[in-house]
Amino acid sequence: MVTVQLHHLLFIAYHGIFEEEKILGNEYIVDASMEFHEKEDVISHINDTVNYSIVYEIIKKRMSIPTQLLETVVMETGAEIHREFPYLKSISISIKKLHPPVEGMQGSAAVSWHKEF
């Protein structure tokens, strides 16, 4: 089994249920992990693995669409990645909102999603 991962992808996006989030935006960190069974003893061609530049573009595109819930964002992102790479055995995605608009809260809020195929 091979795992391809993207870590700490930073985006400015406009997700959230509060009006100020839709106007001001927020900083988000996205992590993604994809597992698949290798076809060869040694992978030596990009078509035999997960091209992480394509995964990055899928994540970037989805993060640019303002959405109320991060749950929606992770699930739709995962579905799109699986459409692009249908041989994946599992996908895990997490999105961390670095500055949630909760009075007095210090820290971040995050949503994680994992699916096995």
* CATH number of residue 107's parent domain: 3.30.1130.10
Please check whether residue 82 is in contact with residue 88, taking contact to mean a CB–CB distance below 8 angstroms.
yes
Residue 85, pLDDT score: 97
Residue 108, pLDDT score: 95
User: What is the mean pLDDT, run by run of 10 residues, along the chain of 117 residues?
Assistant: 98 94 94 94 93 98 97 98 98 96 90 98
Instruction: With CA atoms as reference, report the closest residue to 71 among 2, 6, 12, 15.
Output: 15
Domain count, the chain: 1
Residue 103, pLDDT score: 86
- pLDDT tens per residue across span 79-111: 999 999 999 999 999 999 999 988 888 999 999
What is the span of the domain harbouring residue 90? Answer: 2-116
The pTM assigned to this predicted structure is 0.94
- Spatial separation of the C-alpha atoms in residues 79 and 89, rounded to whole Å: 13
